[in-house]
């Protein structure tokens, strides 16, 4: 019964989410934001986390899950709403990278970002002027152990042309592969 109530509460909260572009502030807004990052078969059993208050700090649990997946709301202080869901390997890679450590993962990691992400428009191939932020639509990301980095370095580095591309976290050097499912302006 509690689980059904929680599911109903989260569903209603998602429908009443803060206006587009506003970052989630309350725990219920953060949960609703995180839950829109991936398909239901991922989010229904995922742990919902909040970002640490300090670099290298603890991730606060908003909802304990039963799978290896972790979903997070938009990164605090960032100008765009980009929630994500991450398997255990990708989550470890994020935690270590953002804490300023060299990431040590031993297997491929997968992440979902159904709300998309924003990247600088390098190509000018879209309706977004060159140099402004381009909204990459829903996508899947793949990170691999450091020793496999050479395999993905030759991929496109421009996320604004709609093709799969590689990127890295701020202040990071390890690349991850981004596979767009469709462009943000497509229905």
Is 94 part of a structural domain of the chain? no
With respect to residue 152, please indicate whether it lies within any of the assigned structural domains.
yes
Q: What average pLDDT does the chain have?
A: 79
How far is C-alpha 176 from the geometric centre of its chain's CA atoms? 12
* The total number of structural domains that make up the chain: 2
Note whether 165 and 129 are same-domain residues. yes
Write down which residue in 35, 52, 86 finishes a domain: 86
Task: Tell me, yes or no, whether 80 and 138 share the same domain.
Answer: no
Output 65 or 173, whichever has higher pLDDT: 65
- Which pLDDT does position 157 carry in this prediction? 84
Which residue, of 33, 53, 86, is where some domain finishes?
Answer: 86
Question: Looking at residue 6, what is its pLDDT?
Answer: 31
91 falls within a domain: no
Q: What is the CA radius of gyration of the chain?
A: 16
Same domain, 67 and 133: no
Closest CA to 49 of 67, 39, 64, 36: 64
Model confidence pLDDT, tens digit, residues 87-97:
999 999 999 98
Q: Is residue 151 in some structural domain? A: yes
Question: How much of the chain, in percent, has pLDDT values that exceed 90?
Answer: 36
Domain that holds residue 165: 100-187
Shared-domain flag, residues 148 and 177? yes
The mean pLDDT of 24-31, rounded to a whole number, is 93
Helices (H), 18-170: 27-35, 40-43, 88-98, 149-152
> What is the structure's pLDDT at 2?
38
58 and 13 share one domain: yes
135: confidence class by pLDDT, cuts 50, 70, 90: low
Instruction: Please state, in angstroms and rounded to a whole number, the distance separating the CA atoms of residues 15 and 12.
Output: 5
Based on the domain organization, do 32 and 108 belong to the same domain?
no
Give me the pLDDT at residue 21, please: 57
Query: What pTM did the predictor assign?
Result: 0.78
Q: Which residue, 59, 86, 113, sits at the end of a domain?
A: 86
Residue-level pLDDT at 159: 76
DSSP string, 82-111: --EEE-HHHHHHHHHHHTTSPP---S-EEE
The answer to whether residue 16 sits within a structural domain is yes
**How far is it, in rounded angstroms, from Cα 138 to Cα 112?**
8
8 A C-beta contact, residue 109 and residue 62: no
The rounded distance, in Å, linking the Cα atoms of 65 and 45 is 5
Shared-domain flag, residues 62 and 132: no
State the DSSP code for 172. Answer: -
Phi first, then psi: give them for residue 131, nearest 5 degrees.
95, -20
Same domain for 58 and 138, yes or no, is: no
């Amino acid at each position: 019964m509690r689980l059904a109530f929680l599911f109903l509460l989260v569903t209603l909260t998602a429908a009443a989410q803060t206006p587009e572009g506003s970052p989630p502030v309350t725990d219920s807004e953060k949960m609703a934001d995180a839950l829109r990052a991936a398909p239901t078969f991922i989010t229904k059993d995922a742990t919902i986390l909040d970002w640490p208050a300090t670099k290298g700090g603890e991730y606060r649990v908003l909802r304990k899950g039963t799978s290896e997946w972790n979903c997070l709301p938009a990164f605090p202080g960032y100008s765009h709403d980009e929630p994500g869901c991450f398997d255990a390997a990708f989550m470890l890679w994020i935690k270590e990278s953002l804490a300023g450590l060299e990431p040590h993962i031993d297997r491929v990691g997968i992440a979902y970002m159904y709300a998309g992400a924003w990247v600088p428009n390098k190509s000018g191939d879209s309706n977004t002027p060159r140099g402004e932020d381009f909204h990459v639509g829903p996508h899947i990301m793949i990170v691999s152990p450091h020793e496999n980095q050479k395999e993905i370095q030759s991929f496109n580095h421009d996320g604004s042309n709609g093709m799969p591309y590689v990127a890295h976290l701020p202040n990071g050097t390890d690349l991850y592969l981004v596979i767009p499912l469709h462009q943000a302006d497509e229905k």
